């Protein structure tokens, strides 16, 4: 059983686990569902008003419902995107971003405090991995943002700080908790998971046959370039990654999406666009019929430490046109929250920097 500050972590539990826990306190089974739906609406033990005061007191002695606290909240004047810096029980901070789309409100959540993967352009990985998030901390971001906004969140993308497949078991547990009809009821079809390409875990995910959308952070079409910006490529190269994508599609029938960050002078020339089209077609369709994919082009968000700069608007447009003309479905990602430092890891990074300067 997971604990927080020595108490049972109720928000990480599913209904059967809650039943077992409450049974030890002499409670009937149906209490579990009550507690579960209160928690998933953002209510802590004190506020569970259809449960006797006595039981609430008893519960509080041995258990807690821990939501992340809003440390900072930035609202974009351009498009209403909201960026949260959430505080965790041990003083660590993570980021989540609330975005409004036509198809519903979407939240981008973090999966770890920091990240072990070392991608050269990414702010989240500077300083490495601090720790992985529990199921409650993954879920808590959705609940806390929904409660704070007072609007239903219908879609989730796991594209914030961290590598979700490096936190595999907790991510799977989170997916089942968030899809529970007694709670938020957000099904797999409304969830995207982005990975830098942990091949063994992609295969494991495929075996669970969930209907989530897999998003692959590719960022380069040849091993030399990819290894120079993504150390994970030294372990699993592009060929092995695209093989895993094929297996994932065969198992789930879900379209796969590829992220390609455009870095000026590094991977953004017309030659690279042609190479990308070739690599995808060759790597994915070699022994199978073409299946639906989509390439998201993202002009790199400049991170001071990386020294990389954004491709020009013209280069981005041209890159996109070439892919489409070669039969690869590609679009340029619309930038939301441009005025609030909304890209991955930058707010946490700014806070850590400010804290360390204050210490000096």
- The residues binding ligand SAH (CB under 6 A) are 117, 119, 121-122, 159, 163, 194-196, 217, 259, 261, 298, 300-301, 303, 343-344
Cα separation of 144 and 47, whole Å? Answer: 15
Name residue 75's beta-bridge partners: 82
> At closest approach, how far in Å is the CB of 182 from ligand SAH?
29
Please check whether residue 6 is in contact with residue 150, taking contact to mean a CB–CB distance below 8 angstroms: no
Choose between 38 and 258: whose C-beta lies nearer to ligand SAH.
258
Choose between 41 and 255: whose C-beta lies nearer to ligand SAH.
255
| 23: annotated active-site residue | no
End-to-end alpha carbon distance in the chain: 40
Distance of CA 145 to the CA centre of its chain: 15
> At closest approach, how far in Å is the CB of 122 from ligand SAH?
4
Choose between 252 and 301: whose C-beta lies nearer to ligand SAH.
301
Choose between 147 and 310: whose C-beta lies nearer to ligand SAH.
310
CA dihedral 15, 16, 20, 21 (to 10 degrees): -30
Cα separation of 32 and 120, whole Å? Answer: 45
Residue from 95, 112, 163, 259 carrying the catalytic annotation? 95
Query: Could you tell me the strand order of the sheet in which 213-217 lies?
Result: 69-75, 82-87, 93-101, 104-108, 155-158, 191-195, 213-217, 256-262, 293-299, 330-332
> At closest approach, how far in Å is the CB of 43 from ligand SAH?
30
> At closest approach, how far in Å is the CB of 11 from ligand SAH?
23
Residue from 108, 119, 245, 344 carrying the catalytic annotation? 344
| 71: annotated active-site residue | no
Which residues are the active-site residues?
95, 344
């Amino acid at each position: 059983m997971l604990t927080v500050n020595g108490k049972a972590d109720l928000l990480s539990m599913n209904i059967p686990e809650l039943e077992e826990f409450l049974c030890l306190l002499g409670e009937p089974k149906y209490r579990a569902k009550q507690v579960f739906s209160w928690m998933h609406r953002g209510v802590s033990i004190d506020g569970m008003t259809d449960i006797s005061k006595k039981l609430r007191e008893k519960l509080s002695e041995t258990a807690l419902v821990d939501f992340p606290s809003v440390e900072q909240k930035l609202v974009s004047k351009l498009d209403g995107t909201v960026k949260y810096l959430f505080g965790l029980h041990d003083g660590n901070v993570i980021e989540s971003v609330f975005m409004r789309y036509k198809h519903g409100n979407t939240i981008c959540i973090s999966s770890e405090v920091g990240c072990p993967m070392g991608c050269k352009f990414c702010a989240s990985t500077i300083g490495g991995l601090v720790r992985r998030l529990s199921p409650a901390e993954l879920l808590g971001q959705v609940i806390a943002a929904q409660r704070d906004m007072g609007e239903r969140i219908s879609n989730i993308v796991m594209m914030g700080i961290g590598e979700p497949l490096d936190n595999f078991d907790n991510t799977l547990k989170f997916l089942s908790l968030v899809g529970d009809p007694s709670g938020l009821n957000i099904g797999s079809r409304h969830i995207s998971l982005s990975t830098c390409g942990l091949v063994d875990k992609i295969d494991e995910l495929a075996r669970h046959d969930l209907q989530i959308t897999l998003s692959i952070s590719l960022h380069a079409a040849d091993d030399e370039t990819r290894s120079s910006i993504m150390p994970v490529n030294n372990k699993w190269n592009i060929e092995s990654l695209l093989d895993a994508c094929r297996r994932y599609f065969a198992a789930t029938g879900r379209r796969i999406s590829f992220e390609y960050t455009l870095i000026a002078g590094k991977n953004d020339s017309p030659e690279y666009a042609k190479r990308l089209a070739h690599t995808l077609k060759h790597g994915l369709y070699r022994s199978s019929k073409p299946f639906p994919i989509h390439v998201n082009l993202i002009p790199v968000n400049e991170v001071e430490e990386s020294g990389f700069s954004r491709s020009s608007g013209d280069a981005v447009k041209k890159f996109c046109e070439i892919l489409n003309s070669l039969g690869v479905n590609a679009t340029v990602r619309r930038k939301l929250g441009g005025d609030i430092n909304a890209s991955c890891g930058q707010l946490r990074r700014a806070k850590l920097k400010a804290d360390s300067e204050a210490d000096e």
